[in-house]
A and B are shown apart, each in its own frame.
Chain A
Amino acid sequence: MTHWRRIWTVATFEFLQAVKRPGYLIATFGMPLFLAAYAGIIALPAYFAMRADRVPAIHGVVDAAGVLHLTRDERSAGQPLPEEVKKMMEASGQRGVFDDADFGAEFVFRPFASEAEARAALTSQAIKGYFVVLADYLSQGVVEVYTLDSIDLTRGESRSAFAMLLRQRLLDSRLDPKLSARVVDPLRETRRFSITKTGALTDGGNTAGILRIAVPVLFTVLFLMSVLMTSGFLMQGTAIEKENKVVEVLLASVNPDEILSGKLLGLGGAGLLQIVVWLALLAAGGLGIVPLILESQVEMPWLALALAIPLFLMAYLFFGSLMLGTGSLGSNMREAQQLAMVWSLTAAMPLMMMAALLREPHGVVSRIMTFLPFSAAPLIIFRASTDLSFLAWWEVSGAVLLLVASTWVALRLGARLFRIGLLSASRPKLREVIRQARL
């Protein structure tokens, strides 16, 4: 029987046993349902809040200074949709989305002849509040704001909307209308471009930026999820032989390397299958964004996407073998998980440092982390996504080579620890672990 056939036998067994467990099936197919229900519960209050926002909030205005010249209700629209997003959605035939949508609250400013009238309207809750523009406003700039003694989260927005109205009316009679419009909203539309290290022009818009960050973040999150999700399987797989006392029978047929590799493939495959199912369900739910991305004509980080799968697998093998090896030193499932925790935390390091890395995607920290085996995979993806021209070919190949070598060492080390762990009834002493690991 060949080495690979033994590994395959162990892998098949582990995979089938893992996916047949009720817990696995519940987690795989139940989790998306749970998340959908959870999202629904969260979305419900947001939906009602949005509906409430569509009813304009009426505020009174007492213009003692006579600067607003209000004769009837004045409407003030909420936050406009960014032009870039509008264009992208138009291109993908989804204009209706922003035609009908309200992005932010809408306000109506109703003139009142006196403060007494406005106060009466407020106490009867006909209005949500009122502004009094004092007679000496032009010299002093003081506006009084009256609201009910309750919590209202839109107060800030209403003040901004009133300030905008005030600014516009102050300028209307004094400036050319075009100049007035620019003073009121100096950055009505922005066009952004990015210049690479080689001087090339690329899309510098928000969508491109989001996509460039989304790819490595998604990669790291998925990777972390798979490591954390499958670590449970891996730990279970390590402890199960000890608990069931089948270690020696197993070792009399397959060596620790083969068991370790088989378990990594089988249990890892089960864990990855779970994530693929979740992603598939997620993708099925979010198919609508595909034309949006395609039509947006943003530059896709193709190299990062191409490297993602091989790097993902290598990094998974690296962490998986270390987790299995370390976990096997525990005498039961609980101890195994405690011991392997250190690798879960290490795998999460790039994600925890993402904010710092985003500030300088090709800075010293990023460069150093590119050559550390535990962070190499997410860092290559991250740097290849943000700006490929800053990532030298030797950095990619060097980091990949280092990761391959580290994965090989991790597999060997994991197998040695696995051998010690399997044959020790209790947790082996550190000295013994170091001695065996050196061999």
Chain B
Amino acid sequence: MVILAYENVIKSYGSTLALRGVSFDVRAGEIFGLLGPNGAGKSTLIRILMDIIRPDSGEVRVFGEVRRRDHLDRMGYLPEERGLYTKLTVIDVMVYFGALKGLSRVEARRRAHVWLERVELPEVASWKIDRLSKGMSQKVQIAAILLSDPELCVLDEPTTGLDPVNVRLVQSLLLERRHNGRTTILSTHQMNQVETLCDRVALIDQGRLMVYGEVDEVRRRYSHPDVIVHSPAALPRVSSVATIASGGDGVWRVSPAENASYSQVLSDLVGAGAQITRYEPILAPMEEIFLRVVQERVA
């Protein structure tokens, strides 16, 4: 089920065209990676979704309807440039953010305490924000956004500046959201997280949608043609294979012949008597895809 759809969205700032007719959708219950270099138009897309700015043309549909103001109660947003009211206490800020999403103050307070436990900061409830460390502040911000349990949540670089333990903690929260059927849009430059967490991605560059689809499918699309084959014995020569190189310990790198598909190579090798225990295409890392797309555009 599609929970969010951008339909030919165009937005310009003066003479600068920030979005040039972007269309893609996000499915309910997935973690969706929104990628792109700085200034690509990601923030503009997010701001349009959050009704902070209006598109010049095109449409945004959420929850199956044209986006309305009251849809924001079911959405959460952690922007890249973020902060908290430094002179207030943690609990006051969290209650306020919860109340703005329609929770009663009592319920917001209850949930705030629960979420502070979840981000392992129960002791900071009565602290002033300016007493928190940067990492603590970031976890409080995430908790403040998630306490209203938004159906659709946009997190812009949620783990920047966190130590590996806390990165793991935040990742587990996102996976739990997916498990509960909640949708998360993750805008990040950390490609390893995209590979680990995201179901699908959209890569924006210069206001255009450059890459879009399931993470594995995208990686395959941009991957090297060679495949890694695990076999205890040497592989036989077949017509669909151009070269076979040994990697040692029964691991072979196989280069398919021109126009030969992975399935044909596998079928031919098995047909020729090869004992294959594992067969995996060499998927391109997301980082490589990102760089290739951006560099191709620059070139």
Contact = CB atoms under 8 A, between A and B. Distances in A.
Contact of B77 (A17, A245, A248, A254): A248
B79 A249 contact: yes
B249 interface: no
Given A244-B85, A249-B97, A423 B79 contact: no
Which 8 A-B pairs have CB atoms at the shortest separation, nearest pair first? A245-B83, A252-B77, A1-B102, A253-B100, A248-B79, A252-B50, A251-B52, A244-B83
Interface centre among A1, A17, A249, A252 (most CB of B within 10 A): A252
Interface centre among B72, B79, B96 (most CB of A within 10 A): B96
Interface string B47-86: 1001111000000000000000110110111110111111
A250 interface: yes
A6 interface: yes
Count class of interface residues, chain B? 20 to 34
Contact of A423 (B53, B69, B82): B53
A202 interface: no
Interface centre among B52, B100, B101, B145 (most CB of A within 10 A): B100
B291 interface: no
Nearest to A244: B83
Given A6-B100, A244-B83, A245-B81, A1 B73 contact: yes
A12 to B, nearest CB: 8
A433 interface: no
Contact of B52 (A9, A245, A246, A248): A248
B52 A240 contact: no
A255 interface: yes
A249 B101 CA distance: 11
Contact of A244 (B47, B73, B84, B92): B84
Contacts of A252: 50-52, 72, 75-77, 79
A255 B51 contact: yes
B274 to A, nearest CB: 56
Nearest to B130: A244
Given A244-B84, A249-B145, 14 more contacts: A1-B101, A17-B85, A17-B92, A240-B85, A244-B85, A245-B81, A245-B83, A249-B97, A251-B50, A252-B51, A252-B52, A252-B79, A253-B97, A254-B100
Contacts of B145: 249
24 contacts: A1-B73, A5-B102, A9-B96, A17-B85, A17-B88, A245-B81, A245-B82, A246-B84, A248-B50, A248-B52, A248-B77, A248-B79, A248-B81, A249-B77, A249-B79, A249-B97, A251-B51, A251-B52, A252-B72, A252-B75, A252-B79, A253-B72, A255-B69, A423-B52
A337 B172 CA distance: 46
A13 interface: yes
B101 A244 contact: no
A5 B70 CA distance: 12
B106 to A, nearest CB: 14
Interface of B: 47, 50-53, 69-70, 72-73, 75-79, 81-86, 88, 92, 96-97, 99-102, 145
Interface residues of A, number: 20
B75 to A, nearest CB: 7
Contacts of A423: 52-53
A342 B176 CA distance: 53
Contacts of B79: 248-249, 252
Contacts of A13: 96, 99
A90 B102 CA distance: 62
Nearest to A1: B102
Contacts of A9: 96, 99-100
A250 B85 CA distance: 11
A355 B102 CA distance: 52
A252 B70 CA distance: 11
A1 B52 contact: no
A6 B145 CA distance: 17
A52 B184 CA distance: 84
B38 to A, nearest CB: 15
Contacts of A255: 51, 69
Nearest to B77: A252
Contacts of B78: 249
Contacts of B69: 255
B86 A244 contact: yes
Nearest to A17: B88
A235 to B, nearest CB: 16
Contacts of A244: 83-86
B214 to A, nearest CB: 28
Contacts of B73: 1, 253
Contacts of A245: 81-83
B279 to A, nearest CB: 46
A10 B51 CA distance: 18
A438 to B, nearest CB: 15
B94 to A, nearest CB: 12
B70 A1 contact: yes
A246 B50 contact: no
A250 B100 CA distance: 8
Contacts of A10: 100
Nearest to A254: B100
Nearest to B14: A432
A13 B94 CA distance: 12
Contacts of B84: 244, 246
Interface centre among B52, B53, B72, B145 (most CB of A within 10 A): B52
Nearest to A21: B87
Given A1-B70, A423-B53, A248 B101 contact: no
Interface in A4-24: 5-6, 9-10, 13, 17
Nearest to A435: B14
Interface centre among B83, B84, B86, B145 (most CB of A within 10 A): B83
Nearest to A246: B83
Contact of B85 (A1, A246, A253): A246
Contacts of A249: 77-79, 82, 97, 145
B138 to A, nearest CB: 12
B90 to A, nearest CB: 14
Contacts of B92: 17
